[in-house]
Chain A
Amino acid sequence: MPTDVLDRELVHSGHVGCPGCGATIAMRFVLKALGEKTIMVLPACCWSVIAGPYPQSALKIPVLHAAFETGGATATGVRAALDMKGDTETTVLTWAGDGGTFDIGFQSLSGAVERDENFIYVCYDNEAYMNTGVQRSSSTPYGAWTTTTTGKDWKKLRKKNIVEALVAHRIPYAATASIAFPEDLLRKAQKAKNMKGSRFLHIYASCPTGWRIPSEMSIKIARMAVQTNIFPLYEVEEGLRYTINYRPKEYLVREYFRLQGRFKHLTEKDLDQIQQMVNEDWELLLRKAGEHV
């Protein structure tokens, strides 16, 4: 990684992200990789607030605040406008939360990538609607507490596999990345930047406030999500070529769940079941990557 990439800084201090916010770490990394010539489309999410109230901005690049469900469509328009001006150099980046991606913004995203619009879509995934107070989304994992899945009614449905949904569109590039693996993340963002067409990055971004974890643990937990296979690091080119970027250490999911308040109600039996679900997903991924033995 050239040091000038790592050293450049496009996020200002003084933003109002929570202490230890994984989404701001993700933003710092992605903008380091993409550089100044980037224009951002920002549908409603925590980052709409972190980016600053008018007339302040936490970012050194132009940002277009957009409606919650319009990440894909607005980017399409921005790209078309730039192209008309003859600016093919500027990268158009949609930066959306999991709610804005998996749920309400899904049709807009699906439409844009089906047309192979020339832009990068980043979903920073904190696994719930955090900005409005921790409501569950289709990204909230099995077993989690949220303010809409409380007490005995913790979420008993699986997390949607958004990367596979994007892969099904046969887009040029779809990848997962994690704030705990900066080198891998920066490499993927730079790789995406140097490609054309629809590119999708799914970035795991811990949320100390919504997950009921201590702020200093947000990287540790993100790292464990990868180490336990809960969030495998991989990339898919042209919807076909899978590459798994990290060989996990066979850690047990139990270790990951134990550290987080949002999972504290789970019993040993629940954790065994979750372990099985994770193993199943991992085997499926290995098969797709042609690495199954």
Chain B
Amino acid sequence: MIMNKYVNPDNLYIARSYLTTESNKTGSWRFLRPCYDEKTAPCSIACPAGEDIPRIEMMATQGLFKEAWEKILIENPFPSVCGRVCFHPCEGSCNRRDFDSAVAIHSLERFIADTAIRYGISPELEKKPSRKQRIAIVGAGTAGLAAAWFLSLLGYSCDVFEASSEVGGVLRWGIPLYRLPLSALRHDIKQITELGVAIFTGKKVSKEMLSELKKKYDAVFIGCGHSLGMPLSVPGENLSGVSEGLEFLRQIRDGKSPVCSGVTAIIGGGNTAVDVARSVVRLGGKALLLYRRRRQDMPALALEVEMALEEGVELEELVAPAVISEENGKILLTLQEMKVEGEECGRDRVIAATGKNRQVRVERILKAIGMQASESWQQADRTDNEILTLSHSVLDSRGREAVMVLGGDIVNKTKSVVDAVASGKQAALALDILFQEGIEAVVPKLQACLVGPGSSLSMEIFMGGERRLRNKHVVSYEEINTDYFRFSPRVTQPRLLKEERIQSFEEIDLKISAHMAMKEAERCFNCGLCNQCDNCFIFCPDTSVILGRDHQGRHINYDYCKGCGLCVVECPRNAMSLGEEKS
């Protein structure tokens, strides 16, 4: 029995308490049990690379830009590229949309990468001990380089073979500089080579060379992408004035200025078509964009289309080339008018409007209607059910030679940069599992590394990081306690004016300041994550949240917690849960 140290020796004739209430274990009242329970953010499952967006933005809010950059790199070696050209599906599922507007995740990714460039910092990432297997990678596009990145982190040595004089694939040769400056691309690639990846440029891999590689290496990853244009299948398409849009972009990226005088017709509605049209304008020509559907059906990013039109690109919707012929050194293009009728595959179907033809005279035609593999061995034989067909890669481990893996555009359903990253990651993880545990383990182990209930893989989870502990439940808007957030306008990405844009291939999107970036990052709800706000500690009526040095920074004292549930409701970000007490 401890007497109160202030007890006066003179008898006051007042009864004085000398014990605390701590001998009452009020935890026995509890029938609901609160606990710390970090969950999955919707943006992170929408990201094909499975980036830990709520954590990245939390770090950016705190000014931890290097850590934020490393958090991206563990899932995606291309933050500088993706911060510029990614179609950012993350923003489309951001919970903040229901509050005011989505967090500018895309601009923030670019800011974080640019900051790493500015300070010339190197990432410190966990690397597994060396493995004996060696891997050859054919094609140094996004998928191949991403595969090399993840395989290197997993301890494998990688040799990359590239036909062109510089690596990067479409990023290097197919995307105009005004969207992706060379320095931005090279910075991401530098991180990959600094991991020890050996790159051999000017090495075109033939069928014969491939059989050599199969003997020398334990696995060969093929990610050569699509380099052969699709045919228009109309008379006259082989005339000299008709060529590939991607080839046109390649010439520009090779330092040439292809002639663009007069009107150039561009056929297609994807990003390549828009890139070609805008490049034509920049080279002083007139661009006529011809698309068989309507503007709202174009696969190109809506913002890109909008900027193209501002810059003077002319768009004709609902027209398809019917006949191409030559007339006095010019191209005479006969267009079939199309009309919308019925539906197919969930979108409006367009069909030819009979008897409605029109002719335009143009200087040249550039096709941008999609690409295919240039060699048959670069394609997956999807009919063979002995090979393992995954969402972003195909594995063939039959025979005694190297394991063959196909990835990137040749297998991906969505042909985007970030899907190519996903492909390289999936291939790398699958190979590691295959080498260490055998082919049967591949599917179940990959399954265990998915982000929440989605289909994106996480390297951090695979490497046993903190993220693996996260509940797969996806936080909904209703689960955010919005009383703790204030309306705040989304950052507006500063851009060059249209007059400035058409003068050169200068990058259009300008930098945002660190102040703007931190303010924007602060808008993020950090859905499902604890940011140490301490609300649980502050509001506990039972003094049962104990601050400590443990991993969480605090813990619940279940001896006294009565299970009122206040901490769970007052957690702004749904990083706690209330479950039934098991007696």
Q: A15 on the interface (CB 8 Å rule)?
A: yes
Contact A219/B22 with A14-B560, A15-B542 known, Cβ cut-off 8 Å: no
Chain A residue nearest in CB terms to B34: A216
A residues within 8 A CB of B547?
7
Given contacts A12-B21, A56-B23, A215-B566, contact A220 B483 (CB under 8 A): yes
Q: Among B17, B23, B542, B568, point to the contact of A24 (Cβ < 8 A).
A: B542
Is there contact, CB below 8 Å, between A216 and B17?
no
Whether the Cβ atoms of B562 and A19 lie closer than 8 Å is: yes
B543 interfacial contact with A, CB 8 Å: yes
- Which residue in B17, B25, B559, B563 is a CB contact (below 8 Å) of A56? B17
Is B496's beta carbon under 8 Å from chain A? no
User: Does B6 sit at the interface, judged by CB under 8 A?
Assistant: yes
**Residues on the A chain within 8 Å of B21, using CB:** 12-16, 52, 56-58
Q: How far is A73 from B234 in the complex, measured between Cα atoms in Å?
A: 102
Alpha-carbon gap, A93 to B29, bound state (A): 31
Q: How far is the CA of A218 from the CA of B540 in the complex (A)?
A: 11
B448 interface residue (CB < 8 Å to A): no
Partner of B543, one of A28, A52, A54: A28
Q: Which residues of B contact A214 (CB under 8 A)?
A: 565
A57's closest neighbor in chain B, by CB?
B17
Assuming A12-B21, A14-B26, A14-B560, is B15 touching A54 (CB within 8 A)? yes
Q: How large is the interface on B (under 10, 10 to 19, 20 to 34, 35 or more residues)?
A: 35 or more
Which residues of chain A are within 8 angstroms of B345 by Cβ–Cβ distance?
A: none
Task: Please tell me if A189 contacts chain B, counting CB pairs below 8 Å.
Answer: no
B545 to chain A, nearest CB (A): 10
Is B544 close to A, CB under 8 A?
yes
A223: Cβ under 8 A from any B Cβ: yes
CB distance from A270 to the nearest CB of B (A): 26
Residues of chain A within 8 A of B569, CB atoms compared: 216-217, 219-220
Report if B298 contacts A (CB, 8 A).
no
Taking the closest CB of chain B, its distance from the CB of A264, in whole angstroms, is 21
Q: Which of B6, B29, B538 contacts A6 (CB 8 A)?
A: B538
Which A residue's beta carbon lies closest to that of B17? A57
Q: Which residues of B contact A19 (CB under 8 A)?
A: 29, 541, 562-564
What is the bound-complex CA distance between A52 and B20, given in angstroms? 8
Q: Does B19 contact A (CB under 8 A)?
A: yes
| B559 nearest in chain A by CB position | A13
- Residues of chain B within 8 A (CB-CB) of A6 are 534, 538
Return chain A residues, CB-CB under 8 Å to B483.
220, 223
0/1 interface trace, chain A 155-196, chain B, CB 8 Å (1 if under) = 000000000000000000000000100100000000000000
**Contact A57:B19 (CB < 8 A) given known A7-B547, A16-B26:** yes
* Chain B neighbourhood of A12, CB < 8 A: 20-22, 543
- Whether A21 and B541, one on each chain, are in contact in the complex, defined by CB atoms closer than 8 angstroms, is yes
Complex formed: what's the CA distance from A122 to B115 in Å?
A: 52
Give per-residue flags for B20-42: 1 if the beta carbon is below 8 A from chain A beta carbons, else 0. 11111110010000000000000
Q: Collect the chain A residues with CB atoms within 8 Å of residue B565's CB.
A: 20, 214-216
A56 touching B19, Cβ below 8 Å = yes
Task: Check B557 for interface membership: any CB of A closer than 8 A.
Answer: yes
Binary contact track B275-292/A, C-beta < 8 Å → 1, others 0: 000000000000000000
Interface residues of A in 203-235 (CB under 8 A from B): 208, 214-220, 223
- Pair B564/A13 contact, Cβ less than 8 Å: no
List A contacts of B26 (CB < 8 A): 13-16
Q: Known contacts A56-B17, A56-B21; is A13 also within 8 Å of B541 by CB? A: no
User: B534 — nearest CB in chain A belongs to which residue?
Assistant: A6
Interface string of B517-553 (1 = CB under 8 A from A): 0000000000000000010001111111001000000
Q: Which of B20, B541, B563, B570 contacts A57 (CB 8 A)?
A: B20
A18: min CB distance to chain B, Å: 8
With A and B bound together, what is the CA distance between A52 and B543 in angstroms?
Answer: 15
A24 to chain B, nearest CB (A): 4
One digit per residue, 1 when the CB lies within 8 angstroms of any chain A CB and 0 when it does not, for chain B 286-317 equals 00000000000000000000000000000000
Q: Chain A residues near B543 (CB, 8 Å)?
A: 9, 11-13, 28
Tell whether A62 is near chain B: CB-to-CB under 8 Å. yes
Q: Shortest beta-carbon distance, B569 to chain A, in Å?
A: 4
Please tell me if A86 contacts chain B, counting CB pairs below 8 Å: no
A13 in contact with B544 (CB, 8 Å): yes
Which B-chain residue is minimally distant from A21 (CB atoms)?
B541
Interfacial chain A residues near B534, Cβ < 8 Å: 6
A25/B20 in contact, CB under 8 A:
no
Contact call B541/A56, Cβ cutoff below 8 A: no
Does B578 sit at the interface, judged by CB under 8 A? yes
Partner of A55, one of B19, B542, B566: B19
A6 CA to B534 CA, complexed, in Å: 10
A17 within 8 A of B: yes
- A-side contacts of B19, CB under 8 Å: 55-57
Taking A13-B557, A14-B23, A24-B541 as known contacts, 18 extra A-B pairs with beta carbons closer than 8 A to each other, sorted by chain A number, are A6-B534, A13-B560, A14-B20, A14-B22, A20-B566, A25-B539, A54-B15, A56-B19, A57-B20, A57-B21, A58-B21, A182-B538, A215-B565, A216-B568, A218-B564, A219-B566, A220-B483, A220-B570
Q: Could you list which residues of chain A lie within 8 angstroms of chain B, going by C-beta atoms? A: 6-7, 9, 11-17, 19-22, 24-25, 28, 52, 54-58, 62-63, 179, 182, 208, 214-220, 223
- Ranked 8 nearest A-B pairs via Cβ: A216-B565, A13-B560, A19-B564, A20-B564, A14-B21, A215-B564, A14-B24, A57-B17
